[in-house]
Amino acid sequence: MKKNALYIQSGGPTAVINASAYGVIRACAAQHERIGTLFGARHGMVGLLKDDLIDLQTLPTDQIDLLLQTPSMAFGSCRYHMTDASVDDADYQQVLRNLRKHAVGYLFLNGGNGTLSAALKLDDFLRRHGEECKVIVIPKTVDNDIECIDHAPGYPSTARHVMITIAELAHDTRSYNTGLITIAEVMGRNSGWIAAASMAAGIADRTNGPDLIYVPEVPFCTNRFLEDVQTVYAQKGRCLAVVAEGVKDETGKYLFEHSMEDVQNPDLNMGGATPYLTWLLRRHFSCKVRGVDLGLMQRCASHSASPVDVAEATRFGERAVEVALAGASGMMVSARRVTDSPYRLEETMVDLLSAAMGGNPLPAKFIAENGHDVTPAFWDYLSPLVGELPRYARLNIL
């Protein structure tokens, strides 16, 4: 007997999560003899809990094809966290009822660390209740902080967007012959992968990257930061520094928490380090100081998506269907790198328990000894993922 399938998007958007949806939809359609209806949940797990499902096979084919270039999350998401079943299993029971109601035998969850944790608990609950529903996670995150995978779909596109944007910003900072210090804040709650990408853009041509980067893996020292900026400014008459939103000081305190105290802005939260740093710099420098937050476009800018990222995200969606039909459950689609040049990945699978163990910080081998730069090894890692980058004139007159 055919079983139906359900696809759920969860967590924060990326530029290519809809490409994974495309992969799932096309793979399920190709397996119509084994899979009945493919449903999609509106707004993630909330849609499943509320029985708010869509028959994805009724959507126009030409619109499905456009998912490959559609930003953010076409089926919506949510930030809802189900209570642990050992405390209150009401949500899990509701999920079970709705899965049975729609004869769902294949559940595809497309998300990051929060999704991995939720999928692990849900798979355990379904197994304990004798439900033969295959649970497969398709990874995605712009932060690249998922364990047991070379890189997560979503990160290459964000890295590419940030690299290009920072390179363009670097050009802008050279337009005037007056002193200027610019702080650019990028995403990266627990890891410095995105900030590192901005610096990697300058490895081949230092004029196109930032002068300094600050990542969560290296404790932030205010005095050293001011000294770093002063050194660069004395040499160039300007300085461009990139800081990840999750940077903490030596006591473990987030920089955005300093913003709340020192800048007296109680509305700031994660992602609000820029006001504090610009406030700090203006106290120590008389030149113009600018703060720039790259904002949400980092995670949903499909116009600058990496072609490699789109292709891999699509393939991960297809792979999820293949392994579920082969009988796998409680697993995450993954890949390991075989070679950098030529770039080649090997498809793998990893159990949810291993994948959900924790974050994936930027390795020490990718961070320069001074703590505010990256090593050439990081460029070897990143360059195959981001695609061809724009080329700029090098007149050497400014």
Nearest Cα neighbor of 171 from 182, 160, 161 is 182
Residue with tokens 């980092």: 298
Which residues lie across from 288 on neighbouring strands? 180
- Residues 75-85 as b or e (16 or more Cβ within 10 Å = b): bbbbeeebeeb
**Residues near 126 by beta carbon (within 8 Å), at least 6 away in sequence:** 96, 99, 133, 135
The question of whether 143 is a catalytic residue gets the answer: yes
Q: Compute CA distances 386 → 20, 87, 110, 195, 245, whole Å.
A: 18, 44, 22, 14, 22
Comparing C-alpha atoms, which of 62, 73, 60, 64 is closest to residue 18?
Answer: 73
Task: Report d(CA 198, CA 243) in Å as an integer.
Answer: 10
Catalytic residue among 91, 123, 143, 309: 143
CA distances from 47 to 31, 53, 237 (A): 25, 6, 54
Catalytic residue annotation = 143
